[in-house]
């Protein structure tokens, strides 16, 4: 591709209004001569993100250090895949005519061909949309869509259309307007058979699938014929259309999702329409497949949380679990929208009551990991073998996750649903052993002769190690612990030795001392120390809560439950959520 010349880039830099760009996603207020808002790159309660005066051409966050200009913003928050693409997007938005350096004839031909295919896709979208409202054979499609409660203005917003029957309506018109058969095939709009171009879509409702900038990349198309083998057909995969890298409705959802702080992801096109009817404007669809890592990265640029609104069935649960795997290296929180069994968003939105249910479900989305734990336990059979299988799956699922408030809540739900903590710890150790077998063995001097710790033991050891690493701050924390905070006598003895500043520990604690000092060698921060204390405190309170319930002490149970909630709030406030 020819390169944009430097003078054009400088003109875009001068013309692009960063304040306008940021305002589309961040609520800003002016204070002390600067525009301030909550940072879109990390979670925070008080604004630390601002535009730098006097020209407001640069943003900076005093909380996480995020910084950049209008070009950076387009790449990190608006979906631009490269610097040059960010320049082109800003030029389009602010009316700058770009000039390109001299290109080879081959480069210029490829650029013009790509522009021609994009123009063809855009025209096809307009053609299909016009057919839906004007063609006689589209009457059943209009009746179907309006009958499902989707008003005309909503259908026009999403450019829903109709591909006429007959097989040559679009192709014939495109060729008459000067497009080639090869361009029709490249755009995924036609097949060529015997030298004749025939429409790829015929007698189907069409849903245009655009990139984050709103440029049409392809279509999804639904038949109304119950005899058709495939209810939905998508554009063929190619240079113009890669389904796993696109999300239906993203271009229309971005600003609303950024304002809300989350994007709602459903499975299908009509699900997105239903969510919009329920007032959820930040909704997109992954088009019937589990979310991919590429799609999640697109969503992470828009908002820090993704709420999965999949069908309320086993397939929807499986898709949610696969999403966890895809999101492992993506900085995004995952939650799930709990729908009534056997429903989907498109169906619920058909009536006012269903729309209210849908909106409430989105607003009260549950963190995904605890939800998956609860669903898996609910499906476990009563036989020991079924329960062992469920526990093994849960231990494996949780073992792969870093410490977080969501993980704490997931573990709490395991034990709250009647699973013995001792039994669950046993399965967790087994999962740790399985994962550890795949890694190279660590030196004995590094781990000592200790067995793999349970989840609670690992948290206690983290607190003890940080107290060793930071004795000035750590010893007062350990002094404030009660006996019940630590679940084993060796840990209680280690606490006493750390408080006393003892260096040579008794032989029976040598392995524990070695393991703690290995961790302590990495150092730590007071924030990490506070976080570790809160996790140990939370588990101690949960044990007291469980004991109160077993004793029939309702008042005690409620008191400890409230204390657990306060600690969970402190954990979230510390950023570990």
**Segment 551-571, tens digit of pLDDT:** 878 788 788 888 888 887 777
* pTM score above 0.85: no
The pLDDT score that the predictor gives to residue 481 is: 86
What is the mean predicted confidence (pLDDT) over 212-225? Answer: 92
Report percent pLDDT > 70 for the chain: 87
pLDDT band at 164 (very low <50, low <70, confident <90, very high): very high
pLDDT band at 269 (very low <50, low <70, confident <90, very high): very high
Burial of 490 (0-12, 13-18, 19+ CB in 10 A): middle
**Residue 236 CB neighbours (<10 A):** 15
> What's the whole-number average pLDDT of the chain?
83
The pLDDT score that the predictor gives to residue 421 is: 57
The pLDDT score that the predictor gives to residue 247 is: 95
Q: Is 372:308 a contact under the CB 8 Å cutoff?
A: no
What is the mean predicted confidence (pLDDT) over 409-432? Answer: 61
306-315, 337-346, 374-383, range with the lowest pLDDT: 374-383
Q: What is the pLDDT of residues 283-293, one digit of tens each?
A: 999 986 678 88
The pLDDT score that the predictor gives to residue 439 is: 38
CATH number belonging to domain 6-94? 3.90.580.10
pLDDT band at 159 (very low <50, low <70, confident <90, very high): very high
Per-residue DSSP letter, 41 = T
pLDDT band at 278 (very low <50, low <70, confident <90, very high): very high
The class of domain 105-241 in CATH terms is alpha beta
Phi then psi for residue 265, to 5 deg, are -110, 125
CA–CA separation, 160 vs 132, rounded Å?
A: 8
Distance of CA 241 to CAs 20, 188, 395, 574, Å? 31, 8, 39, 42
Q: What is the pLDDT of residues 30-84, one digit of tens each?
A: 888 899 998 888 877 788 899 998 888 999 988 888 899 999 998 888 767 788 8
| pLDDT of 223 above 90 | yes
CATH number belonging to domain 250-364? 3.40.1360.10
Question: Taking CA 122 as the corner, what is the angle to CA 119 and CA 127, rounded to the nearest 5 degrees?
Answer: 120
143-157, 260-274, 473-487, range with the lowest pLDDT: 473-487
Q: Is 373:300 a contact under the CB 8 Å cutoff?
A: no
Q: What is the pLDDT of residues 503-547, one digit of tens each?
A: 778 888 888 888 788 778 777 788 888 888 888 888 888 888 877
What is the mean predicted confidence (pLDDT) over 388-408? Answer: 69
């Amino acid at each position: 591709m020819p390169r944009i010349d430097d003078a054009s880039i400088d003109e875009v830099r001068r013309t692009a209004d960063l304040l306008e760009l940021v305002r589309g996603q961040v609520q800003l207020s002016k204070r002390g001569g600067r525009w301030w808002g909550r940072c879109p790159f990390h979670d925070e309660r008080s604004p630390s993100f601002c535009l730098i005066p006097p020209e407001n051409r640069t943003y900076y966050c005093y909380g996480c250090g995020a910084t950049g200009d209008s070009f950076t913003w387009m790449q990190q928050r608006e979906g631009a895949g490269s610097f040059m693409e960010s320049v082109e997007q800003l030029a389009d938005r602010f009316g700058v005519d770009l000039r390109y350096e001299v290109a080879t004839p081959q480069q210029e031909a490829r650029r013009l061909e790509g522009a021609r295919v994009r123009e063809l896709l855009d025209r096809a979208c307009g053609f299909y949309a016009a057919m839906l409202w004007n063609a006689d054979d589209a009457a059943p499609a209009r009746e179907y869509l309006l009958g499902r409660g989707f008003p005309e203005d909503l259908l026009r917003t999403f450019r829903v259309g109709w591909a006429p029957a007959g097989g040559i309506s679009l192709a014939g018109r495109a060729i008459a307007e000067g497009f080639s058969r090869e361009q029709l095939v490249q755009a995924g709009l036609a097949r060529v058979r015997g030298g004749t171009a025939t429409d790829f879509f015929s007698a189907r409702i069409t849903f245009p699938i655009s990139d984050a900038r709103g440029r049409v990349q392809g279509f999804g198309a639904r038949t109304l014929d119950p005899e058709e083998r495939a209810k939905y057909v998508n554009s063929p995969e190619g240079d113009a259309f890669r389904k796993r890298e696109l999300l239906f409705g993203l271009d229309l959802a971005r600003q609303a999702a950024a304002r809300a702080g989350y994007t709602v992801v459903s499975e299908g096109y009509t699900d997105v329409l239903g969510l919009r009817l329920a007032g959820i404007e930040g909704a997109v669809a992954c088009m019937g497949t589990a979310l991919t890592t590429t799609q999640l990265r697109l969503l992470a640029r828009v908002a820090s949380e993704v709420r999965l609104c999949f069908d309320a069935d086993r397939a929807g649960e499986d898709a949610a679990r696969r999403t966890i795997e895809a999101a492992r290296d993506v900085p995004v929180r995952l939650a799930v929208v709990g729908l009534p069994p056997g429903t989907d968003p498109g169906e619920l939105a058909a009536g006012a009551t269903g729309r209210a249910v849908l909106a409430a479900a989105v607003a009260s989305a549950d963190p995904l990991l605890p939800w998956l734990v609860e669903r898996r336990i609910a499906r476990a059979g009563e036989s020991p073998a079924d329960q062992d299988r469920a526990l093994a799956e849960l231990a494996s699922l949780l073992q792969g996750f870093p410490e977080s408030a969501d993980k704490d809540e997931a573990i709490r739900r395991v034990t709250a649903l009647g699973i013995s903590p001792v039994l669950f710890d046993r399965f967790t150790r087994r999962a740790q052993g399985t994962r550890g077998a795949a890694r190279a063995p660590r030196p004995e001097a590094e781990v000592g002769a200790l067995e793999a710790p349970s989840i609670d033991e690992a948290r206690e050891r983290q607190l003890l190690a940080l107290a060793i690493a930071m004795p000035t701050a750590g010893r007062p924390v350990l002094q404030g612990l009660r006996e019940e905070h630590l679940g084993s006598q060796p840990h209680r003895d280690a606490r006493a030795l750390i408080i006393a500043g003892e260096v040579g520990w008794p032989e029976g604690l040598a392995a524990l001392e070695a393991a703690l000092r290995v961790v302590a060698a990495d150092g730590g921060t007071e924030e990490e120390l506070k976080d570790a204390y809160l996790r140990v405190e939370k588990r101690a309170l949960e044990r007291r809560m469980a004991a109160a319930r077993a004793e029939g002490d309702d008042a005690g149970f409620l008191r400890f439950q409230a204390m657990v909630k306060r600690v969970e709030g402190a954990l979230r406030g510390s950023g570990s959520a």
